[in-house]
A and B are shown apart, each in its own frame.
Chain A
Amino acid sequence: MRALKPQLYTIPASGETPALCGGTCACGHVFFPMQRYGCEKCGKTGDALTPTLLKGEGTLVASSRVLMHARKDRQAPFVVLSVKLKGGPVVRTLLAEDTDEFLPAGLQLKACLVEVDGPADGEKRLDLRFAPAA
């Protein structure tokens, strides 16, 4: 099955953790997602920006369970996370499964892929989420 956002993450072989498609600047700044407009920290562009696969592992910074959402294509409730990636930046993403349980800061998290609706009617795609590491 194809990725919903192939520019943002990899679909690995079975059993492996997906990686996030980030970048590293010659100045040392690590960012997500990869972009070539220019480094947010120093302004370098072109060859100074190198694609870098970031491990789909991290720790929870904060979470919020969304209970009211205007858009019809994403039904509440769902849980949004701030995740500090191992050796990478903080990203904002979704928890794989909705829960109303308290999620403590520092919780170990791992990326995973879940089946979601694709752009065409009846089409299914894989999209990245995070879940507590086993």
Chain B
Amino acid sequence: MTTTLKDLRPVYVVGAGWHRYQNPSDNPYVALGLKATRDALEDAAIEWRAVDTAYIATALLPMAPGRAILRHLGASGVELIHIENASASGSAAFRKACIEVASGISDVALVLGVDKHGSHPRGRGEAIAGIGNLADDAIVPFTHFSLLADQYAQRHGVSHEDIARVAVKNHGNGAKNPNAQRQQARTLDEVVGGRKVSGNFTTLQCTPVGEGAAAVIVASEDAIRRLGIAGSKPIRVSGSAGRSQRVYDNPTAYDASLTAETTEIALRQAGLAPKDIDIVELHDAFTVEEVEYVEAMGFCPAGQAVPLLKEGAWDINGKCAVNPSGGLIAMGHPIGPTGVGQIGEIVLQLRGEAGLRQHKPARVGLAHMVGVGAVCYVHTLQKD
């Protein structure tokens, strides 16, 4: 019999911080990581010495960058664990930190995602697995998802302009987020009229990969009491699930199938149904992903995501706010920080501290990431 997060002692997110996601710069990753970590500690109003364990999520930096960052907070001897899990690195690190605190091994954990595009480019493991491929380098991520967009549009009879409305919504949300890489609202004409990259995708329908950092502090009830953390800060982590790709009956829908089964596990663990979710931060690296995933998660029937998008159901203050941060399309996708930043956004929303992009009411949030389609993480967070 296995144990899930809900069988263990409660865990909470008590602090969140960012270094703004941005285009690659000369600013060293150490400065990015320190800014996010210090802001998360300040948000929780705790000292670095109160942290028992630290998880560092990174997919683009060289080996073991954690100590190079965290020693500048005072080298406390805290355990440092580095996690690489493609786009879902931050989500995986968050899950492992929650499990460690829930188990009682640690009371307070830092989860820091930090990355710099181009600093230490790594290929994909699959590319050097020794198994050939007909199209080799021809299919980069935007083409993989452009193929899915063509399939979705033909299957459901929707236009590519309608799918592009995801980007209009998310650029609008990003314009209200001081930590977003892209902070400019865009019209549909601007989105579809931009430079085409593959199929009907233009650059504004694709995530920018730059640099940045995001950090959250995970704590037990004991730690919250002992450290005197303010009652308005803690947000409960009620469900956590991580899965990897299987062989599905529909081989072209593996991203959505993996999302569906991972979401179902996390919701069941938390005792929630899709209708209970107020806020979703999901992996919208490309517009079509958002419509595919809200359907896979059970927020609407297949083929209904686009009509609901046009009605404003996924807007801030709509039926369910999807990617109020701006999502990967506007907030950006520095890789390691992305999944951590999603958790931080949901925490701000559930506390009512999201400013211009506040969704009301917000009591339950869900965070979702996939990593090269091969891994998927879903977390649910709730205001007690």
Contacts and interface: CB of A to CB of B under 8 A. Distances in A.
Contacts of B137: 71, 73-74
A63 B154 CA distance: 11
Contacts of B256: none
B187 to A, nearest CB: 22
B143 A80 contact: yes
Main secondary structure of the interface of A (DSSP, over half): loop
B252 interface: yes
Nearest to B131: A35
Interface string A64-79: 1111111101100010
Taking residues whose C-beta sits less than 8 angstroms from the other chain, chain B's interface range is 20 to 34
Contacts of A126: none
Interface string A38-70: 001100000000000000000001111111111
B197 A68 contact: yes
A62 B156 CA distance: 13
B118 to A, nearest CB: 12
A66 B138 contact: yes
B154 A105 contact: yes
Interface stretch (B8-16, B80-88, B145-153): B145-153
B199 interface: yes
A70 B141 CA distance: 12
Contacts of B105: none
- How many of chain A's residues touch chain B, expressed as a range? 35 or more
Contacts of A91: 134
B137 to A, nearest CB: 5
B135 interface: yes
Nearest to A111: B134
A9 B252 CA distance: 22
Contacts of B143: 64, 66, 80
Contact of B138 (A35, A69, A82): A69
Interface string B197-236: 1110000000000000000000000000000000000000
B197 A5 contact: no
B196 A82 contact: no
A29 B151 contact: no
Interface in B92-149: 130-135, 137-140, 143, 146-149
B197 A41 contact: no
A67 B142 CA distance: 11
Interface string A1-15: 000010111000000
Instruction: State the 10 A-B residue pairs at the shortest beta-carbon distance, nearest first.
Output: A64-B199, A64-B146, A62-B151, A62-B150, A93-B134, A68-B197, A62-B147, A41-B247, A105-B154, A66-B198
13 contacts: A7-B132, A8-B134, A9-B134, A29-B247, A62-B148, A62-B150, A64-B143, A64-B149, A66-B199, A80-B143, A92-B134, A94-B135, A94-B138
